Amino acid sequence: MVSHLAKGTVFMFLAGLGIVGNIFVLVKYICILRRTMKSIHLILIHLAFTNTMTLLTKGMMRTISSFVLKNLLGDVACKIAIYLNRVARGLSICTTSLLTVVQAITISPRASRWGRLQPRSAWHLLPLLLLLWILNSLISMNLPFYVKNISSMNTSEISKNNDYCYFQPENRIIRWIFLTLMVLRDAGFQGVMGGASGYMVFLLHKHHQHVLHLQTSKLLHRTPPEVKAAKSVLLLMLCFLFFYWADCFDSLYITFSFRTDPIAVSLHEFLTVGYAILSPFVLIHRDGKIALICKDLFSVNFW
């Protein structure tokens, strides 16, 4: 019981930290978007919003479980929380993929095929973001029919128990259809992410080779903002891939393990929200302006 409360407290702290970081990034880029209207800023706003939704839904369910408030969520609340959490997970994959593609287009030469695809306005991406919401909402639409609150639990019905809500056994054909759709979505968007990232690495390598030929030391140390942004996006992508695949391997271990491993189960809970927690601080660290604002906000002169 004590260890359960301790894990819940740690999870609440990390989730709260992530929510604060994402809200800060969200507000900051909304302010920037009002002035510059860049596509990359709109995508970062969407990513921060998606991360916040992930942390709020997962954090709420974890808190209820940790502090023995299982009856606080009814069936409807369970359905909404788990459905939104699954939609947010899918949106995180899609948004990170879109971020790498748009950034690759941004740093491409204007005369290239990629350069011609650059959106003329940030608002031109809104229909695409709406399409991503529709896609992920449809892929997760089976969940509300099989999720119930644990207060109405019948042990003979449970196929997967996560302490606050549980999944009833579902039709095998329906389960495999939606599982296949999820796998295709993840594989497709990660493939696009990998291709765009590889292209960015190629362009950054060409830029590096060009810089090496410069003779003026002042120019040698002057890095274009687009190059800095591309490096930040690549770091975000690596961060996402690490948490995604670590979560996949941990989930496989839990599924095929002969006994319940509490460490693996706890690790799985943190891995599912690791990217949502860490990504805003990657952006804050990489963006000098945001980092400077943070420093000004948290430094207090008492003299």
- Which residue, 300, 247, 263, is CA-closest to 58? 247
pLDDT of residue 257: 77
Higher pLDDT, 155 or 175: 175
pTM of the full predicted structure? 0.84
pLDDT of residue 292: 53
Give me the amino acid identity at 27.
Answer: V
Higher pLDDT, 97 or 296: 97
pLDDT of residue 181: 93
Higher pLDDT, 144 or 67: 144
Cα angle 38, 44, 47; round to 5? 150
pLDDT in tens, 26-81: 988 888 777 777 888 899 999 999 999 999 988 777 766 666 555 556 677 788 88
pLDDT in tens, 227-255: 777 888 889 999 999 999 999 998 888 87
> Is 299 a residue whose pLDDT tops 60?
no
CATH number for the 2-298 domain, one of 3.30.70.2190, 3.90.470.10, 1.20.1070.10, 3.30.70.260?
1.20.1070.10
pLDDT of residue 114: 64
Q: Classify strands 165-167 and 160-161 as parallel, antiparallel or unpaired.
A: antiparallel
pLDDT in tens, 70-126: 555 667 778 888 899 999 999 999 999 999 999 888 888 766 666 666 766 677 888
